[in-house]
Chains A and B, each alone.
Chain A
Amino acid sequence: MNPLPPDHPQPRSLTDLFVSFTLLALQGFGGVLAVVQRELVEKKRWMTREEFIEDWAVAQIMPGPNVVNLSMMIGARSFGLKGAMAAVAGMLVVPLMLVLVLALVYARFSSHPEVAGALRGMGAVAAGLIAATGIKLSSALQKNVLGLRLCAALGALCFVAIALLRWPLGYVLLGLGGTACVLAYRRIKPGPKA
């Protein structure tokens, strides 16, 4: 793995990776992605918005839980296989213990309408967090070879297919994602990056 540019802060150690991902996971009610973007891109600056989008694209395309794939790739960026394992362990171990404890106490409180209401409220906020993550990452598209107008058109089609028509993700990624990659391929000049 190539070294990152010197002005790029990095996790200090495997312990730092493990602890950071544990803290990320524990803040992620209703999904961890928004927290990962906020903490690792905006606060710790371990990666740029462009790098985050690239990793997230791979995490989505490959099989398996997206956030686990993403953690693994971020961990691997600085410490290879060990980093990947530390990040995934951080993402899973403590939250797993917590979720088992919650399952044990759930039976007692599941019938309370207040509990159901609180979950509903947190779900609505979590949906907003993910939208904001998308809006913030969209600024990275300004440098895209496809150009802003084509990016907007592809993005709009993708939204309609997934959110409104509810087509299966696999088909959309193959069809629309494949088209976008071919368009990008034709706009990139052959040879190494300038």
Chain B
Amino acid sequence: MTEPLALVFTLQDWLALFLHYLMLSLLAIGGAISTAPDMHRFLVEQQHWLTDAQFNASIAIAQAAPGPNVLFIALLGWNVGLNAGGMPAGLLGVLLSLAGMLIPSTVLTYTAAQWGQRNRDLRAVRAFKQGMAPIVVALLIATSWILGSANGSGLQDWPVWLLTLASALIVWRTRLHLLWLLGAGALLGWYGLI
């Protein structure tokens, strides 16, 4: 970690944080993580509210922890708050950033989903569902590929790919609980086998 930041936060700063997240919420097509580059630009480069190390650690911890990866946004708010004066400010940061990130998008999605349910016999709604299905399945495979290459990209990383392939086959073909697989992956990594 580099030198921690000590910030003085005014009401306007908190408002700016909240408003920025409100805007990003509607731009977060393809998931919250797709807004990470812009958050880095805003929080680290423009406002200097976070260090680079704090930014990267927030994303890594949220990815490793159980739960949806969107919680990296809460951690970013937490760290901004800590820099601005400790735990209560940290909790305020968590609250403002999560609320800002979730409220616009969930209201919009809820409305759209309800409309789709009411009009599910419309030809256009059925065409949307049928047409998107193969795209959605392919996106899952593509996500797996992208996550896999983040872990190891070169040929020397073949054990990592083998582990990914083996877990895919086991989950596809057996009913083994997913936590056993994650535990096995953690053990293999802990002892440096992959």
Is chain A's binding surface mostly helix, strand, loop or mixed? helix
* A191 smallest CB distance to B (angstroms): 8
Which residues of chain B from 99 to 153 have a CB within 8 Å of any chain A CB?
Answer: 101-102, 104-106, 108-110, 112-114, 116-117, 121, 123-124, 126-148, 150-152
**What chain B residues lie within 8 Å of A73 (beta carbons)?**
109-110, 113
Give the interface size class of chain B. Answer: 35 or more
Q: Which residues of B contact A66 (CB under 8 A)?
A: 30-31
Q: Are the CB atoms of A146 and B130 closer together than 8 Å?
A: yes
Q: Give A70 to B115 CA distance when docked, in angstroms.
A: 15
CA distance A125 to B189 in the complex (A): 11
CA distance A135 to B62 in the complex (A): 26
Question: B123, A76: Cβ atoms under 8 Å?
Answer: no
Give the A-B pair count, Cβ closer than 8 A.
381
Q: How far is the CA of A159 from the CA of B34 in the complex (A)?
A: 18
Question: Least Cβ distance of A64 to chain B in Å?
Answer: 2
Of the candidates B57, B124, B126, which one forms a contact with A193 in the assembled complex, judged by CB atoms under 8 Å apart? B126
Interface of chain B, main secondary structure: helix
A184 with B140: CB separation less than 8 A: no
Contacts of B145 in A (CB 8 A): 127, 131, 159, 163
Asked if A38 is at the interface (CB within 8 A of a chain B CB), the reply is: yes
Q: A122's contact among B28, B152, B186, B191, by CB below 8 Å, is which? A: B186
Greatest chain B CB density within 10 A among A59, A88, A91, A159 is at A159
18 contacts between A and B (CB under 8 A): A33-B140, A64-B105, A65-B101, A67-B70, A72-B106, A100-B94, A102-B61, A123-B64, A124-B194, A127-B144, A127-B148, A131-B144, A138-B137, A155-B135, A155-B141, A163-B145, A169-B30, A181-B131
Which B residues are closer than 8 A to A by beta carbons? Answer: 1, 25-32, 34, 57-58, 60-71, 74-75, 78-79, 94, 98, 101-102, 104-106, 108-110, 112-114, 116-117, 121, 123-124, 126-148, 150-152, 160-161, 163-172, 178-179, 181-182, 184-192, 194
